[in-house]
Protein backbone atom coordinates (compact mmCIF):
# COMPACT_ATOMS: atom_id res chain seq x y z
CA UNK A 1 0.00 0.00 0.00
CA UNK A 2 1.32 3.42 -0.94
CA UNK A 3 1.66 6.09 1.72
CA UNK A 4 -0.13 9.44 1.39
CA UNK A 5 2.98 11.21 0.08
CA UNK A 6 3.28 8.71 -2.75
CA UNK A 7 -0.43 8.97 -3.54
CA UNK A 8 -0.16 12.76 -3.69
CA UNK A 9 2.63 12.43 -6.28
CA UNK A 10 0.38 10.48 -8.65
CA UNK A 11 -1.22 12.47 -11.47
CA UNK A 12 -4.86 13.39 -10.69
CA UNK A 13 -6.59 10.57 -12.58
CA UNK A 14 -4.07 8.03 -11.30
CA UNK A 15 -4.87 8.98 -7.70
CA UNK A 16 -8.50 8.10 -8.31
CA UNK A 17 -7.60 4.83 -10.02
CA UNK A 18 -5.25 3.87 -7.19
CA UNK A 19 -7.82 4.61 -4.50
CA UNK A 20 -10.43 2.61 -6.42
CA UNK A 21 -8.06 -0.35 -6.60
CA UNK A 22 -7.30 -0.07 -2.88
CA UNK A 23 -11.02 -0.26 -2.12
CA UNK A 24 -11.30 -3.29 -4.40
CA UNK A 25 -8.34 -5.05 -2.79
CA UNK A 26 -9.84 -4.50 0.69
CA UNK A 27 -13.24 -5.90 -0.31
CA UNK A 28 -14.10 -9.33 1.19
CA UNK A 29 -15.28 -10.53 -2.22
CA UNK A 30 -11.89 -9.81 -3.74
CA UNK A 31 -10.14 -11.59 -0.88
CA UNK A 32 -12.39 -14.60 -1.52
CA UNK A 33 -11.46 -14.57 -5.22
CA UNK A 34 -7.76 -14.43 -4.38
CA UNK A 35 -8.08 -17.47 -2.11
CA UNK A 36 -10.05 -19.27 -4.82
CA UNK A 37 -7.37 -18.43 -7.40
CA UNK A 38 -4.67 -19.75 -5.05
CA UNK A 39 -6.54 -23.04 -4.77
CA UNK A 40 -6.99 -23.18 -8.55
CA UNK A 41 -3.28 -22.51 -9.04
CA UNK A 42 -2.42 -25.44 -6.76
CA UNK A 43 -4.90 -27.63 -8.63
CA UNK A 44 -3.37 -26.66 -11.97
CA UNK A 45 0.12 -27.42 -10.63
CA UNK A 46 -1.05 -30.93 -9.70
CA UNK A 47 -2.63 -31.32 -13.15
CA UNK A 48 0.62 -30.17 -14.72
CA UNK A 49 2.67 -32.68 -12.74
CA UNK A 50 0.31 -35.56 -13.52
CA UNK A 51 -0.65 -34.70 -17.09
CA UNK A 52 -0.54 -37.64 -19.48
CA UNK A 53 0.36 -35.52 -22.54
CA UNK A 54 2.58 -32.56 -23.27
CA UNK A 55 -0.43 -30.57 -24.47
CA UNK A 56 -2.11 -31.03 -21.11
CA UNK A 57 1.10 -29.99 -19.32
CA UNK A 58 1.24 -26.78 -21.36
CA UNK A 59 -2.47 -26.09 -20.80
CA UNK A 60 -2.19 -26.60 -17.02
CA UNK A 61 0.98 -24.50 -16.88
CA UNK A 62 -0.70 -21.63 -18.71
CA UNK A 63 -3.76 -21.81 -16.46
CA UNK A 64 -1.54 -21.87 -13.36
CA UNK A 65 0.34 -18.80 -14.57
CA UNK A 66 -2.94 -16.96 -15.19
CA UNK A 67 -4.21 -17.78 -11.70
CA UNK A 68 -0.88 -16.72 -10.19
CA UNK A 69 -1.04 -13.40 -12.03
CA UNK A 70 -4.47 -12.78 -10.53
CA UNK A 71 -3.26 -13.75 -7.05
CA UNK A 72 -0.41 -11.24 -7.38
CA UNK A 73 -2.36 -8.40 -9.00
CA UNK A 74 -2.34 -6.35 -5.80
CA UNK A 75 1.46 -6.49 -5.61
CA UNK A 76 1.83 -5.79 -9.35
CA UNK A 77 -0.50 -2.81 -9.09
CA UNK A 78 1.25 -1.38 -6.07
CA UNK A 79 4.65 -1.59 -7.75
CA UNK A 80 3.28 0.03 -10.90
CA UNK A 81 1.73 2.95 -9.02
CA UNK A 82 4.83 3.33 -6.82
CA UNK A 83 6.94 3.61 -9.97
CA UNK A 84 4.61 6.27 -11.38
CA UNK A 85 4.85 8.22 -8.12
CA UNK A 86 8.65 7.86 -8.08
CA UNK A 87 8.89 9.10 -11.67
CA UNK A 88 6.73 12.11 -10.81
CA UNK A 89 8.91 12.86 -7.79
CA UNK A 90 12.06 12.64 -9.87
CA UNK A 91 10.56 14.93 -12.52
CA UNK A 92 9.58 17.45 -9.84
CA UNK A 93 13.10 17.29 -8.37
CA UNK A 94 14.64 17.80 -11.81
CA UNK A 95 12.39 20.80 -12.47
CA UNK A 96 13.48 22.31 -9.16
CA UNK A 97 17.15 21.68 -9.97
CA UNK A 98 16.71 23.29 -13.39
CA UNK A 99 15.01 26.30 -11.80
CA UNK A 100 17.84 26.70 -9.25
CA UNK A 101 20.48 26.46 -11.97
CA UNK A 102 18.63 28.99 -14.13
CA UNK A 103 18.45 31.44 -11.22
CA UNK A 104 22.17 31.00 -10.51
CA UNK A 105 23.11 32.04 -14.04
Q: What is the pLDDT of residue 104?
A: 83
Q: At what angle do helices 28-50 and 54-71 cross, to 10 degrees?
A: 160
Distance, in Å, from the CA atom of 57 to the CA atom of 63, rounded to the nearest integer, reads 10
Q: Where are the domains of the chain?
A: 21-104
Q: What is the pLDDT along the chain (105 residues), one digit of tens a residue?
A: 899 999 999 998 999 999 999 999 999 999 999 999 999 999 999 999 999 999 999 999 999 999 999 999 999 999 999 999 999 999 999 999 998 888 887
Q: Are 48 and 57 in contact (CB under 8 A)?
A: yes
Q: What is the pLDDT of residue 7?
A: 94
Q: What is the pLDDT of residue 12?
A: 86
Sign of CA dihedral 7, 11, 12, 13: negative
Which among 66, 104, 81 is positioned nearest to 20, based on CA atoms? Answer: 81
Q: Are 81 and 10 in contact (CB under 8 A)?
A: yes
Amino acid sequence: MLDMEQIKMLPGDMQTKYMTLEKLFDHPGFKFLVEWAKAQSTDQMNRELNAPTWEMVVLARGARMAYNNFVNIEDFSEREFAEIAQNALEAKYQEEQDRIEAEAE
